[in-house]
């Protein structure tokens, strides 16, 4: 189960407040702040914005950016580390140093790696959330109850296409590719059923624990 070794007082709740701010008077500056801080994740989406305002964002068409989940291989910078000039970052560093002192010296490295792993996992989940369809979240919830065979998946997808014209240009494989890419779903040994992975279950827990809306477009 997705159970990070720290509470929910991370950047995600602030993001939720930011989303609310975008809906009101403060939306221009809030949106600029969001774009700057998550520019790598948001850059592919910005080129596809049709309209933007206090009521929300409209994209020109239904498309999903294929992005590979961060596996942590490049997380630790080589050479000279970037100095922490941000007072908030420095305060976080000091707090973490105090927390680490509570651990036995033999286990500190493992605790650091574990915490960094959860941090990267949350980053992956947030990046996936930025571009996931609401119906794909619903699909994960259905798969969390039981696997679904190919024929039933085709029926469900056909119903979705009748409700959402934008999805008619997708094949079932194209529609599910996003969930496969983020390792949220997999096929069974015979390749006849789709089922949720542990990573997919943890993504649903992530959405629930941070109160992120599931009623996204499409």
pLDDT tens, position by position, 15-66 = 444 454 444 444 455 555 555 555 555 555 555 555 555 445 555 556 666 6
Segment 100-112 mean pLDDT: 83
Q: Indicate whether 200 pLDDT > 80.
A: yes
The per-residue pLDDT for 204 is: 98
**Helices 134-145, 198-209: crossing angle, 10 deg rounding:** 120
Q: Indicate whether 161 pLDDT > 90.
A: yes
The per-residue pLDDT for 193 is: 97
In terms of Cβ atoms closer than 10 Å to its own Cβ (0-12, 13-18, 19+), residue 143 is: buried
Comparing 109 with 210, which gets the higher pLDDT?
210
Lowest mean pLDDT among 47-56, 62-71, 129-138: 47-56
Q: Which of 135, 127, 128 is nearest to 166 (CA)?
A: 135
Q: What percent of the chain has pLDDT over 90?
A: 43
The per-residue pLDDT for 9 is: 40
Q: Indicate whether 157 pLDDT > 50.
A: yes
**Dist CA 93 CA 78 (whole Å):** 19
DSSP string, the chain: ----SS-S-SHHHHHHHHHHHHTSTTHHHHHHHHHHHTHHHHHHHHTTEEEEETTEEEESS------PPP-STT-SPPSSPPP---HHHHHHHHHHHHHHTTS-TTTHHHHHHHHHHHHHHHHHHHHHHHH--HHHHHHHHHHHHS-EEHHHHHHHHHHHHHH-GGGGG--HHHHHHHHHHTTSEEE-TTSSEEEE-HHHHHHHHHHHHTT-------
Question: Where residue 6 falls among pLDDT bands split at 50, 70, 90?
Answer: very low
Q: Indicate whether 164 pLDDT > 90.
A: yes
The per-residue pLDDT for 7 is: 43
**Dist CA 165 CA 119 (whole Å):** 37
Strand 56-59 to strand 49-53: parallel, antiparallel, or no bridges (unpaired)?
Answer: antiparallel
**Dist CA 67 CA 181 (whole Å):** 8
Q: Indicate whether 125 pLDDT > 60.
A: yes
The per-residue pLDDT for 162 is: 97
The per-residue pLDDT for 99 is: 84
Query: Tens digit of pLDDT for each residue in 174-184?
Result: 999 999 999 99
Query: Tens digit of pLDDT for each residue in 80-104?
Result: 556 667 888 888 888 888 888 888 8
**Dist CA 78 CA 64 (whole Å):** 32
Spatial contact of 216 and 132, defined as CB atoms under 8 Å apart: yes
Rounded mean pLDDT of the chain? 78
CA within 13 Å, CB half, 138: 11
């Amino acid at each position: 189960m997705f159970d990070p070794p720290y509470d929910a007082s991370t950047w995600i709740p602030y993001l939720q407040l930011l989303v609310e701010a975008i809906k009101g008077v403060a939306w221009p500056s809030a949106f600029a702040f969001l774009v700057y801080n998550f520019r790598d994740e948001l850059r592919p989406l910005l080129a596809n914005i049709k309209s933007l305002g206090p009521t929300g964002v409209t994209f020109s068409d239904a498309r999903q950016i294929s992005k590979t989940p961060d596996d942590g291989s490049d997380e630790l910078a080589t050479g000279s580390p970037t100095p922490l000039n941000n007072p908030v970052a420095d305060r976080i560093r000091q707090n973490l140093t105090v927390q680490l002192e509570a651990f036995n010296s033999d286990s500190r490295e493992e605790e650091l790696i574990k915490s960094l792993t959860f941090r990267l996992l949350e980053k992956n989940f947030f990046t996936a959330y930025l571009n996931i369809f609401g119906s794909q979240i619903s699909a994960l919830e259905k798969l969390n109850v039981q696997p679904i065979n190919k024929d039933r998946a085709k029926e469900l997808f056909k119903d979705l296409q009748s409700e959402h014209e934008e999805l008619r240009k997708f094949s079932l494989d194209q529609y599910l590719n996003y969930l496969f890419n983020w390792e949220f779903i997999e096929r069974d040994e015979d390749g006849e059923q789709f089922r949720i992975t542990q990573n997919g279950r943890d993504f649903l827990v992530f959405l629930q624990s941070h109160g992120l809306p599931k009623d996204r477009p499409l």
